[in-house]
Amino acid sequence: MSFINYSSREINCKIVYYGPGLCGKTTNLQYIYGKTAPDAKGKMISLATETERTLFFDFLPLALGKIRGFRTRFHLYTVPGQVFYDASRKLILKGVDGVVFVADSQIERMEANLESLDNLKVNLHEQGYDLDKVPYVMQYNKRDLPNAAPLEEMQKLLNPSGMTDFEACATTGTGVFETLKAVAKGVLTDLKKMGK
């Protein structure tokens, strides 16, 4: 959960990018890293295999500016998407403040999307969270591919409750910052509600 440090006047929040293997979670972070001014970001850490598949997590610390004199810092994490890394995914969800689900738009990945989304719900539940209550954004990635499923179909399948969603192409950056802003807003709005 968020950490408010009065001494350094900072709010620290944790956002996790979730989704099936090869859906583009790491690519989202790499794009954000590449486009952020050096003074607003820390080092990006990727704990990956030799073939650059995420083994444990990617981590990117970002500073977004000040609110009421408090610097807002977001720690972005990705989980390893491959099914057999479930134990690691659970660990990374600990203390999460906001979740981005990155769905792979390719028709043949729909089942993997559904499986990963179910896995997210189960793992959040194990930590005492409910996906309907955690700030949450859906991103339909790889919209540029010729085998992308129709948007309406993906919405019906993966986002029936109509949470905030974005179309994206993480390699070119389309929709990447929109997704990040939406989830960060959700987290801060939640923080505001908690203070009331």
Provide the Cα torsion 79, 82, 85, 89; round to 10°.
30
Segment near other proteins (CB under 8 A), from 8-16, 21-29, 32-40, 104-112? 8-16
Interface residue with other proteins among 40, 91, 145, 151 (CB under 8 A) is: 91
- From the CB of residue 10, how many other CB atoms can be counted at a distance below 10 Å? 15
E strands, the chain, in order:
3-5, 10-18, 45-48, 54-67, 70-78, 98-104, 136-141, 165-167
| Candidate list 36, 46, 82, 88; residue touching other proteins; CB under 8 A | 88
* Least Å from the CB of residue 70 to other proteins: 7
CB 33 within 8 A of CB 44: yes
Which of 22, 33, 45, 53 is in the footprint of other proteins by CB under 8 A? 45
* 121 forms part of the interface with other proteins (CB under 8 A): no
Q: Which two tokens stand for residue 119?
A: 């896995």
Residues binding other proteins: number (CB under 8 A)? 46
Q: How far apart are CA 23 and CA 112, in angstroms?
A: 10
- Residue 132 is a binding residue for other proteins (CB under 8 A): no
Q: Which of 48, 114, 128, 183 lies at the binding interface for other proteins (CB under 8 A)?
A: 128
Q: How far is CA 173 from CA 24, 43, 141, 145, 151, in A?
A: 11, 20, 10, 14, 18
Site for other proteins, rule CB under 8 A? 1-7, 11-12, 14, 42-43, 45, 47, 56-57, 59, 61, 64-68, 70, 72, 75, 87-88, 90-92, 94-95, 127-129, 181, 184-185, 188-189, 191-192, 194-196
